[in-house]
Chains A and B, each alone.
Chain A
Amino acid sequence: DTGVSQDPRHKITKRGQNVTFRCDPISEHNRLYWYRQTLGQGPEFLTYFQNEAQLEKSRLLSDRFSAERPKGSFSTLEIQRTEQGDSAMYLCASSPTVSGVYNEQFFGPGTRLTVL
C-alpha cells in the first residue's frame, strides 16, 4: 500500500508525559499537513510543510507542540507535558504541488491519543 501511514495508531499516556507520532507521506508528495480532530468535529489544521520547511503553524499549536520533517520525507509531531485536553485524533495528510492542478490531500488513518 503506498498511501499515507501513521504510527502508532493508538497511544495512551499519562498526563505530563511526552508523546511523539510519526507520519510517512506518499513518496512523491512534497507537502505534508498535520490536523487534530476531536469527537464530533471536523479536522483542525495544525501545521504544514513544503519539503523540510515548516511554512505555517496554527495558533492551536502551542509551545508544547513541535513538528519536524528533517529530510522532507517523514514527519514527527511531538507533544510535551501532555494534558487531558490533548486527547484527540491526530491526522496527517500529504499532497503534491503541481502548478495549475488541484492538489488533493491524501489523509492517513490517524493516531488516536488518550491522555489519562
Chain B
Amino acid sequence: DAKTTQPNSMESNEEEPVHLPCNHSTISGTDYIHWYRQLPSQGPEYVIHGLTSNVNNRMASLAIAEDRKSSTLILHRATLRDAAVYYCIRFYGQNFVFGPGTRLSVLP
C-alpha cells in the first residue's frame, strides 16, 4: 500500500512546538517524503520534502528516521494560521498518494 499513516487529529497551544508524525513503512529507497498542508477552503500547499537527512526551511523542519520508515514534521512555534490538515505523502509512480492527513488545531 503506497499510503502513509498519520494520526487523525492533534492539538497544540499557540506558540508551542508541534511534532506531527508519519509512518511510511513500505517506502522504497528512492522515494522522497513530502508534506503538504491544506488550510480551510483552499487547495493543498507545499510545506517541505526530504529523502534521507533532516531538512529545514522557513516553514518547518522535517526529521526522517534512519530506517526511513517514519518521519516527523516539526512546526517550531505554532500560530493560529497553522491550523490545517497536514498530509504526509509518498510520490508513487509519477504521482502523489495522499492519505486522510492530520487535522491540527491550534488553541490560543
Which A residues contact B (CB, under 8 angstroms)? 4, 33, 35, 40-45, 48, 55-56, 91, 93, 102, 104-110
**In the complex, are the beta carbons of B46 and A104 less than 8 A apart?**
yes
What are the 9 closest A-B residue pairs judged by CB atoms, nearest first? A107-B43, A42-B98, A104-B46, A45-B95, A107-B44, A43-B98, A91-B43, A42-B101, A108-B43
Chain A residue numbers with a CB within 8 Å of B45 are: 106-107
Residues of chain B having any CB pair with chain A under 8 Å:
32, 36, 41-46, 49, 85, 87, 93-101
User: Cβ of B93 and Cβ of A56 under 8 Å apart?
Assistant: yes
Whether A105 pairs with B96 at a CB distance below 8 angstroms is yes
Q: Is the interface of B mostly helix, strand, loop or mixed?
A: loop
Give the CA-CA distance A91 to B36 in the complex, in Å: 14
Complex CA gap A42/B38 in Å reads: 9
Contact B100 A41 (CB under 8 A): yes
